Structure 1
Amino acid sequence: MARTAKKAPSAKNAFEELSRRGPHDVLHGDLALIGLPGLVCTPRSGLGLPAVAFGHGWLQPPRRYLGLLRHLASWGIVVAAPGTQRGVFASHRLYAADLRTALDVCVGVRLGEGEISVDAKRLGVAGHAMGGGCAVLAASEDKRIRSVATLAAAETMPSAFETASRVEVPGLHIAAGRDLLTPPVANAEPIARAWGGPVQLRTVKKASHLGFTEGRHWTQLVLHGKPEYATQRVTKALITAFFLRTLVGDRRGEALLSADIGGSHIDHKHSRGALTAA
């Protein structure tokens, strides 16, 4: 009798699955214990895991992204979020270097109780606003990085717009449709259009600039927006699908990466290769 091929999950089913917590128990701790201020979230155990360095937005503490960091860790991804360059006059160049250092820590240090290791061939970077622009800078300098995801990415100095053309790995750029601080047309869109590799630009239509963050913080008095559950949910699903596909080769979220779903729509894509290439 012929074996029936397993049907791939629909975009809706993939969204429902990947927006929920994954199968792994999660540990989180302080990067300062190993020399770099910030947070690290990991699965409880696992060898040869993928790792992502996550960059915070301007003036934001890493704890405002803890839900996203823990979510990725629950799906088997080590995430390190350096808490440096949080002042008004943050250095984008130095913060990009700190993202690369965070990856060095993930690769070079046995995390947890020695039961967690990272594969140096499975590294990614991500970030919100300033951290997104710095993720682009980091990827242009570090050839170990296999994929890049940004949330409401902001222009940096040196320019993320100009640097994007030198990044040839897959990129997923998620913009906020109601963002008054880093509007998509002036920030995420130029990065996506200049991207040197396969890329997708998405807009979460009802999201504000701070919709990707969690909890209360004084910057809500001076920056645009506030935490938004719907924005965070679609972000978790999309970024999880993207990094599982590009760093691990896991296709369960592939339909999600090709669909308008969860209040988000695809604005631009090109494939010099494929967005989902491992």
Structure 2
Amino acid sequence: MGALRTRTLLSGMVALATVGVTPAASATTEIADEWGKPGPYAVTVEALDGTHTVYRPSRLERHPVILWGNGTGANPKTYDGLLRHLASHGFVVAAADTPNAGSGTEMLAGATTLIAENSRPGSRYQGKIDTAHIGATGHSQGGGGAIAAGADSRVTTTIPIEPGPQGLASALKGPSFFLGGQFDTIVIPALLVIPRYRAAEQIPAIYGELGNATHFTPVGDGGGFRGAITAWFRFWLSGDERARAVFFGASCGLCRDGAWSDVQRNAKALAVPGA
């Protein structure tokens, strides 16, 4: 997959989002019903610094962090619905204001800023950031950036969404949920996502392939990916035990959900206790 072809195709993703083309839809499922609905928090969107936009609960308590990376040529507004949704479930989302997040460096800079603000007297974030629970996720190039960022010890879990080739899955430090789209012809699951999931033998890792999903499905509000993304972060970052059964144990909800065309769990994921 040449760099020029990748840039051209992913730039098309931004154009589709801009003109309001609807991504491929998935059937309504139990996971989407429970976790795809807005959370209890009102949401505020604001600049964090000169290079990040924050989506956060309007009333700050003490919240885990999600670092976000955009696809090539995109910006946080391209994924506005998804980022607002995650903030409504109690996360402070630091979205890198860059169309090139694949190095992971830009994403990690958001963590650095929030950690500093957490201890800075007078900051609205003082004492409001759970610095021990930081996740990283992103789409396409930003998904590759999430893998790259996941090699940093501050990042405790990752969700690469239809990820680009950046980062080493073998270097991930915490549990990872690799997402593919059944009809993604840009980041083809069998060639570009499943091998990366299999390389993450050192951590609990799950591969989830959303049925009927294309490379454009995550644009906007996350489409059929939204509920599973939320549940994963609610479990690993917020300690929400309601989300455990979605991924772990013999009755794994994701494994039985008809909206997902393929679900694989590695040995370490199978060892995580169910509900």
TM-score normalized by structure 2?
A: 0.78
Q: Which residue in the other structure is 1:204 paired with? A: 210
Deviation at 1:112, TM superposition (A): 8.5
Deviation at 1:14, TM superposition (A): 4.8
Q: Which residue in the other structure is 2:84 paired with? A: 70
Output the amino acid matched with 1:109. E
Q: Which residue in the other structure is 2:65 paired with? A: 51
| Whole-Å separation in 1 of the counterparts to 2:258 and 2:87 | 22
Output the amino acid matched with 2:228. L
| Whole-Å separation in 1 of the counterparts to 2:53 and 2:258 | 28
| Whole-Å separation in 2 of the counterparts to 1:136 and 1:261 | 26
For the residue of structure 1 that corresponds to 2:93, the secondary structure is: strand
Q: Which residue in the other structure is 1:143 paired with? A: 153
Deviation at 1:144, TM superposition (A): 1.2
For the residue of structure 2 that corresponds to 1:209, the secondary structure is: coil
Q: Is the 8 A contact 1:171 1:275 kept in 2?
A: no
Deviation at 1:13, TM superposition (A): 4.7
Counting aligned pairs with the same residue, the percent is 26
Q: Which residue in the other structure is 1:104 paired with? A: 112
| Whole-Å separation in 1 of the counterparts to 2:273 and 2:32 | 16
Q: Is the 8 A contact 1:49 1:76 kept in 2?
A: yes
Residue 128 (structure 1) aligned with residue 139 (structure 2): yes
Cα distance 1:61–1:16, how it changes in 2: closer, same or farther (>3 A)?
Answer: same
Q: Which residue in the other structure is 2:39 paired with? A: 22
| Whole-Å separation in 1 of the counterparts to 2:64 and 2:138 | 17
| Whole-Å separation in 1 of the counterparts to 2:243 and 2:263 | 19
2:171 corresponds, among 166, 170, 175, to 166
| Whole-Å separation in 2 of the counterparts to 1:45 and 1:262 | 37
Output the amino acid matched with 2:114. C
Output the amino acid matched with 1:28. V
* Count of residues paired in the alignment: 236
Deviation at 1:265, TM superposition (A): 3.8
Deviation at 1:255, TM superposition (A): 2.6
For the residue of structure 2 that corresponds to 1:241, the secondary structure is: helix
| Whole-Å separation in 2 of the counterparts to 1:155 and 1:233 | 23
1:3-18 counterparts in 2 under 5 A?
A: 13-18=30-35
Deviation at 1:166, TM superposition (A): 1.8
Output the amino acid matched with 2:35. L
| Whole-Å separation in 2 of the counterparts to 1:133 and 1:207 | 19
| Whole-Å separation in 1 of the counterparts to 2:210 and 2:102 | 25
1:247 corresponds, among 237, 250, 262, to 237
| Whole-Å separation in 1 of the counterparts to 2:173 and 2:86 | 23
Q: Deviations over 1:161-216 (max 9, x none)?
A: xx2112131101110111111111121111100012001001112011011102xx
For the residue of structure 2 that corresponds to 1:179, the secondary structure is: coil
Task: State the superposition RMSD in angstroms.
Answer: 2.4
Cα distance 1:20–1:35, how it changes in 2: closer, same or farther (>3 A)?
Answer: same
Residue 267 (structure 1) aligned with residue 263 (structure 2): yes
TM-score normalized by structure 1?
A: 0.77
Cα distance 1:103–1:115, how it changes in 2: closer, same or farther (>3 A)?
Answer: closer
Cα distance 1:114–1:169, how it changes in 2: closer, same or farther (>3 A)?
Answer: closer
Cα distance 1:256–1:23, how it changes in 2: closer, same or farther (>3 A)?
Answer: same
| Whole-Å separation in 1 of the counterparts to 2:123 and 2:179 | 31
Extract unaligned runs of 5+ from structure 1: 1-11, 215-228
Cα distance 1:244–1:271, how it changes in 2: closer, same or farther (>3 A)?
Answer: farther
Extract unaligned runs of 5+ from structure 2: 1-28
Cα distance 1:26–1:266, how it changes in 2: closer, same or farther (>3 A)?
Answer: same
| Whole-Å separation in 2 of the counterparts to 1:240 and 1:59 | 25
Q: Which residue in the other structure is 1:119 paired with? A: 130
Q: Is the 8 A contact 2:101 2:145 kept in 1?
A: no
| Whole-Å separation in 2 of the counterparts to 1:184 and 1:138 | 21
Q: Is the 8 A contact 2:162 2:179 kept in 1?
A: yes
Deviation at 1:116, TM superposition (A): 7.1
